[in-house]
Chain A
Amino acid sequence: MVETALPADRASAPLPGNAGGAPAVLKVAAVTRRFFGVAALDGVGFAVPAGRITGLIGPNGAGKSTLLNVVSGLLRPDAGQVRFEGDDVTGMKPHRLAARGLTRTFQIARGFPKMSVFQHLMLYGPRQPGERLLQAPMWSRAARDREAELAERALAIAGRLRLSPLLDAPVTALSGGQKKLVEIGRTLMAEPRMILLDEPMAGVNPSLGAEIAAHLQALNAEGISLCLVEHDMALIRQLCHHVVVMAEGRTLVTGSFDEVVENAEVQEAYLGRRH
């Protein structure tokens, strides 16, 4: 069963059977965003089922990155709505979204050049009262206890991602693949309920890619909803329960991987029309 060209106002309609009837954690409805008159997003709408791994695919220029930027609060949409766990979060600032449990990663691993791996992990820890100016110099009991809690979690996450030997290294000293692992680790520190991943495998060697894929599946098994933009079709097939195909700023098709690759419109969007 393939739902074709989901109209914007039907974005909140029940998902097709392949979504397993899971409620939607994220709903994007009729989102439009223009850059100097060119519509990068032109009424895109779809739902991401909770507790699943959803793949967002589409040819270059389909608007996937812009959509990720809109959902994660970097860009305000010109029109449309984004709902996270039922609440309208359209145009909300990234730090407020992070506090609600919606975080993202970047295609090119970004970091704070002069901070160590451990500091990156600690930084992402939420609800640290010591980040308030008036509490910081006092180093209150609550702040110290929270710091100890976060440190324990950070060390555990570093161990899980096999980053322990690199804890004190500045991120600039890491390899591309290690940076990706740090990115996953620090996102985990934020205690997310949903992670948007922008090409988590871009520029990563196959063995590390497999390791990252295993980490993503483990996270999902813990109940974190994932939505990933990716060009590697084998990976999408392996990981994703549900696939959303975008083209020209709109939702083209949603369904399971096998369903969407069979779809003629998808083939046309990727390969061009047959004359």
Chain B
Amino acid sequence: MLSYLLFSVTIGGIYALLSLALNLAWGGAGLVNLGLAGFFGIGAYATALATGAGAPLAIGLVVAMAAGVLAGLAITGLTLRLRDDYLAIVTLGFGEIVRLVALNERWLTNGADGMSGILAPGKAALGVAGFNQAWAAGVTLLVILVWLLLRRLDQSPFGRALRAVREDQELAGFAGKPVLRLKYQAFALSAAVAALAGALYAHFQSYISPDHFQPLITIYIFLAVTAGGIGRPVGAVLGAYCVVAFLEATRFLAAVVPGIEAVQVAALREALVGLSLLLVLHLRPKGILPERIPPAPKAPS
């Protein structure tokens, strides 16, 4: 039971990183990124390939984030004229392309069989229980670090300029803000954080396959950010842990609801996820911890 909890904490941390990534692009700059699973996958495969070639964990994580940045810059460049629904559709397509490439380019990714035996640092030395503890602590620490960094960005003049781009990018230009640079930076940084989450996932599971990067993950993360409070990093983190807790809790449905089979449990879980999103949007449309307007300093009297 303890290892199951630790496993959930680690997965919750990975979801929290993804939520922070989405909150930066979507909550910060208004760039709807439905391709989050794609960046997640790019990070996972990048570090699997790098560490598979003999690189240590740290290099693997750096390679994953660099790959995320490059993919983020490329997607921003390709979608400069798109916003809202159109950007969402194109990025959704991008996420699927990443998954299909991973599925079909067998020479690189081993196709549907996935890549196994990915470097799992500490597993041999610490044993399974120690490994789970160390990763739960390490991932949680990273979540705190990334959260502090992104919160600081959010409250800085950079975050303010980004918000202006989110609300009205044309007007942001007249306010003297370099809209293109801000979009590139926000999206690339967001992609790097998502790729970092993917890399951590790959090392933690030590096995990845295209099935792990289904668009459903993106939907869960959108649910997390919406529930937690879009536009506020701490809301994204809280939302992510809530979603993971919710998803894990519903595994035990079969024991509670009599007379249903395993397949029906799975279907019921999805239905409950949808229902919970509706409930959150109905009861707290701005999320549990909504975006705040920082107060102006008091005039010296």
Contact = CB atoms under 8 A, between A and B. Distances in A.
Contact of A103 (B152, B168, B174): B174
A124 to B, nearest CB: 5
A128 interface: yes
Nearest to B156: A136
Contact of B160 (A72, A74, A99, A119): A119
Given A123-B164, A124-B175, A126-B176, A116 B296 contact: yes
A155 B296 contact: yes
Nearest to A74: B170
A130 B156 contact: yes
Interface stretch (B43-51, B112-120, B177-185): B177-185
Contacts of B291: 114
A94 B163 contact: no
A133 B152 contact: no
Contacts, number: 112
A132 B171 CA distance: 19
A186 B171 CA distance: 12
Contacts of B167: 111-115
Nearest to A129: B157
Interface string A130-163: 1111011101000100010001001100010000
A196 to B, nearest CB: 10
B192 to A, nearest CB: 12
Interface string A77-121: 000000000000000011100110001101000111111101100
A124 B171 CA distance: 11
A199 B176 CA distance: 21
A186 B168 contact: no
Interface in B224-242: 231
A38 B294 CA distance: 47
* Best-buried of A112, A118, A122, A155 by chain B (most CB within 10 Å): A112
Interface of B: 149, 152-153, 156-161, 163-164, 167-168, 170-179, 185, 189, 231, 291, 293-297, 299
27 contacts: A74-B170, A95-B178, A98-B174, A103-B176, A110-B171, A112-B164, A114-B167, A114-B231, A114-B293, A116-B294, A118-B296, A123-B160, A123-B175, A124-B175, A130-B158, A131-B160, A135-B158, A136-B153, A136-B156, A136-B158, A139-B152, A139-B156, A143-B156, A143-B157, A147-B157, A155-B297, A155-B299
